[in-house]
Amino acid sequence: MPRAAVLTARSRPLEILDLDLQRPLSGEVLVRLSASGICHSARSLQEGTVLVDLPIVLGHEGAGVLEEVGPDVTGLQPGDHVVLSWIPQCGEC
């Protein structure tokens, strides 16, 4: 079962929790993260300056290995090494 640092309440430390994840849906992938960071934008969620529904897993940057790909995913397969970024990429260069 995967574990993640989860924000469960504003202005509180993150909690390390076990997650029950669904299998990837159409166009989605499941990544086993090897490294992840929490930038200042994500800290704004923890500090309450940006409001979101809780609980939430923070972080939108990281690196890992694909565990599973959902239907309609092309060009990727389990075992591929990937990096995650919130900036969309063309996937060609």
Q: For 64-81, b where at least 16 C-beta lie within 10 A, e where not — what string?
A: bebeebeeeeeeeeeeee
One CATH from 3.20.20.370, 3.40.50.300, 3.90.180.10, 3.10.20.590 for 3-84: 3.90.180.10
pLDDT value at position 85?
83
At 32-63, the pLDDT tens digits run: 999 988 888 888 888 889 888 999 998 788 99
pLDDT tens figures, 69-86: 999 999 999 999 999 887
